[in-house]
A and B are shown apart, each in its own frame.
Chain A
Amino acid sequence: MKASVATIGGKKKLTKLKLLLLISMPFILALAALTIGRYPVSLTHIWAVLTNGFLLTEVEVPDAVRTVILDIRIPRIIAAILIGMALSVSGAAFQGTFRNPLVSPDILGVSAGAGFGATLAIINSWGSLGIAFSAFGFGLFAVWLTFFLSNKIKNSGEITLIMVLGGMLVGTIFTSLVSLIKCVADPYEKLPAITYWLMGSLSSIQMNDIYLVILPMLIGLIPLWLLRWKLNLLAFGDEEAKSLGVNTDRLRLVVIICATLLTASSVAISGMIGWVGLVIPHFARSITGPNYRSLLPVTVLVGGSFLLVVDTLARSLLPMEIPLGILTSLIGAPFFLYLLAHSRRGWK
């Protein structure tokens, strides 16, 4: 083991092959996902459409195929990868920040808040853009409320613990409000829309949705990526991190803002998608170990790939579309159990 190779420090460095496989995985899966679906699309057609006929000028692509590829599948594939990445990264960041392996991205109430925002928008018929904005806004608001309340009541206790409790509180309030709205919603038109939104789906994703969230997602992702080594220190607790030279209050605030932006943007266009943010960081940790320096990049790759696979299953497994949120839970929960049983490296 030479120093130059071992700069990551720590055991089980990723081999070049493994790394290459991880990096190429989302692309291979995306290509596969393009061909899969009720409307069969050949690789030749995909090539012709994507490269605008490069090398295959003689191939005639039917308009329907072009529409399926460009307007339906590509936006959906991009959205699945982005959302999977966003939820997984924010889950991974929160698990270290709150020093708890069972934390998921909604720990501070962002999903509950976004759910309320979307419900409010649906019942007022604000349209799909209105739903996205309202969900995004209330998601941020819920986390701000949690943050504000826990800073108000913090005494000598550990602030992270108070924040988790505050998040539960705020989450409960917004979930109850959603139930209240469902109770009074028009049962033929609004209620199914609300229920369907809450189950999470990418079936109506368009390129415009992606343009809408790509900026907040990048604003959330880039700082976390740059700070990824520092995230390790939060896992050792406030006092130690401080004595090692970290301004923990500021770092934690940055993490919370970034992770919240990532989750809120995801939920705004997809609805509630559970378990990804909890399971994927553990899976990634079983590959790289807990050091965020390599954990975070692998989480990005695995998270994006995972949600793409699940979403492709959701739209192709049954004649009707299965809501994505249901499928991630159905797959995620047993998968988590498997990880618990088989990886001692993950956490203990």
Chain B
Amino acid sequence: MSLEIRNLSFGYSSNKLIFEGVSLKVEKGEVVCLLGPNGAGKTTLFKTILGLYKARQGQVLVNGKDVSNCSRRELAKEMGYVPQNHMPPFPYSVIDVVLMGRTAHINNYAVPSDLDLQIAREAMANVNISYLEDKNYTEISGGERQLVLIARALAQQPQILIMDEPTSNLDYGNQIRLLSHIKRLAKQGLSIVMSTHYPDHALYCADKAIMLKDGHIICSGTSEEVLTEHNLSKIYGIDVQIMDTVVKNGEQKKICVPVVA
């Protein structure tokens, strides 16, 4: 498995690009964190990688194959997408939503089989939300919906998971739990590309980090190379300090603290 992005650009019109010249390589089992201020083009970049928007320039290669030549079904088997939380117009039950992750594996005129149901249930168990199975998707909390969308992407059994701010709706405990989930999934061999607004999250779970500002990659590399005081101050416009600490269990950790008067 490999995901390679070469010199990718996209804009709704050709004279105003949302992002430009983005290149990136993701290996098997790697977690790549994308950071950038609001409006930097993170979501648009993800949607272009997923082939939802047609790139103006450049290529997205999955296993060496250009995604613009792949069918939606082929792509869905390789890449799963966890969008930002939203509401469908009808109150589907949670298991129905997770089962939709099986779409790419189900024949056009078929309905999900018992095996699909089993895979969907395993995906839910994987993120500890089995208790939500019979609840209405529209009536659970935003954080729970986020986990349902992750379970749906897992049911899709992709090689690559693209997650758009997966921690944004979660409480503090669930944020950390989700990040551990992500680390564990990466250990299982899944490649993960996610965006986040929290430098600490990237420090905690990312192998690589990328900073995007105004549609350009400011810097990329290992998370420790990228998440520096200088870089964070530059993209967010506030003063921060990166500190080395030793946590209770003896682990060395870097944390990011804002410096405010």
Pairwise interchain contact A243-B76, C-beta atoms closer than 8 A: yes
Cα-based distance from A272 to B129 in the complex (angstroms)? 48
Given A9-B96, A229-B112, A243-B50, A347 contacting B91 (CB threshold 8 A): yes
Chain A min CB distance to B87 (Å): 9
- CB-CB contacts of A310-348 with B at 8 A, as 1s and 0s? 000000000000000000000000000000000001011
Contact residue among A10, A99, A239, A348 (Cβ-Cβ distance under 8 Å from B96)? A10
B104 — which chain A residues lie within 8 A by C-beta? 244-245
Chain B min CB distance to A94 (Å): 12
Pairwise interchain contact B90-A239, C-beta atoms closer than 8 A: no
Pairwise interchain contact B90-A290, C-beta atoms closer than 8 A: yes
Cα-based distance from A100 to B88 in the complex (angstroms)? 10
Pairwise interchain contact A227-B109, C-beta atoms closer than 8 A: yes
Pairwise interchain contact A246-B89, C-beta atoms closer than 8 A: no
**B93 contacts the other chain (Cβ, under 8 Å)?**
yes
A203 — which chain B residues lie within 8 A by C-beta? none
A229 — which chain B residues lie within 8 A by C-beta? 106, 110-112
B114 — which chain A residues lie within 8 A by C-beta? 3-4, 7
Give the contact stretch, choosing among B77-85, B165-173, B195-203, B232-240: B77-85
Given A227-B109, A239-B52, A101 contacting B75 (CB threshold 8 A): no
In the complex, which residue of chain B has the Cβ closest to the Cβ of A1? B134
Give the contact stretch, choosing among A115-123, A176-184, A193-201, A230-238: A230-238
**B57 contacts the other chain (Cβ, under 8 Å)?**
no
Cα-based distance from A6 to B93 in the complex (angstroms)? 13
In the complex, which residue of chain A has the Cβ closest to the Cβ of B87? A348
Pairwise interchain contact B72-A242, C-beta atoms closer than 8 A: yes
Pairwise interchain contact A345-B83, C-beta atoms closer than 8 A: no
**B47 contacts the other chain (Cβ, under 8 Å)?**
yes
A242 — which chain B residues lie within 8 A by C-beta? 50-52, 72
- CB-CB contacts of A285-308 with B at 8 A, as 1s and 0s? 100011101000000000000000
- Name the interface residues of B176-216: CB closer than 8 Å to any CB of A: none
Total of A-B residue pairs, C-beta within 8 Å: 112
- Name the interface residues of B90-104: CB closer than 8 Å to any CB of A: 90-93, 95-96, 99-101, 103-104
B134 — which chain A residues lie within 8 A by C-beta? 10-11
**B159 contacts the other chain (Cβ, under 8 Å)?**
no
Pairwise interchain contact B118-A3, C-beta atoms closer than 8 A: yes
Cα-based distance from A348 to B73 in the complex (angstroms)? 31
Contact residue among A11, A230, A240, A347 (Cβ-Cβ distance under 8 Å from B89)? A347
- CB-CB contacts of A86-100 with B at 8 A, as 1s and 0s? 000000000010011
- Name the interface residues of B110-133: CB closer than 8 Å to any CB of A: 110-114, 117-118, 120
B50 — which chain A residues lie within 8 A by C-beta? 242-243
In the complex, which residue of chain A has the Cβ closest to the Cβ of B47? A239
**B71 contacts the other chain (Cβ, under 8 Å)?**
yes
In the complex, which residue of chain B has the Cβ closest to the Cβ of A291? B96
Pairwise interchain contact B90-A9, C-beta atoms closer than 8 A: no
Contact residue among B72, B95, B117, B120 (Cβ-Cβ distance under 8 Å from A245)? B72
Pairwise interchain contact B91-A289, C-beta atoms closer than 8 A: yes
B88 — which chain A residues lie within 8 A by C-beta? 99, 235-237
A293 — which chain B residues lie within 8 A by C-beta? 111
- Name the interface residues of A242-293: CB closer than 8 Å to any CB of B: 242-247, 285, 289-291, 293
**A226 contacts the other chain (Cβ, under 8 Å)?**
yes
Chain B min CB distance to A176 (Å): 31
Chain A min CB distance to B135 (Å): 8
**Those 10 A-B pairs whose CB atoms lie nearest each other, nearest first:** A245-B76, A245-B104, A290-B90, A10-B93, A243-B81, A226-B109, A11-B134, A229-B111, A245-B73, A9-B95
Other contacts beyond A96-B90, A230-B103, A232-B92: 16, CB < 8 A: A4-B114, A9-B95, A10-B96, A101-B89, A229-B111, A235-B88, A235-B92, A240-B81, A243-B50, A243-B81, A244-B100, A244-B156, A246-B72, A246-B103, A247-B73, A291-B93
Q: Give me 25 A-to-B residue pairs in the complex whose CB atoms sit less than 8 angstroms apart, sorted by A's number.
A: A3-B118, A10-B95, A10-B134, A99-B88, A99-B89, A229-B106, A229-B110, A229-B111, A229-B112, A233-B100, A237-B86, A239-B52, A239-B83, A240-B81, A240-B83, A243-B52, A243-B80, A243-B83, A244-B103, A246-B103, A290-B90, A293-B111, A345-B91, A348-B91, A348-B138
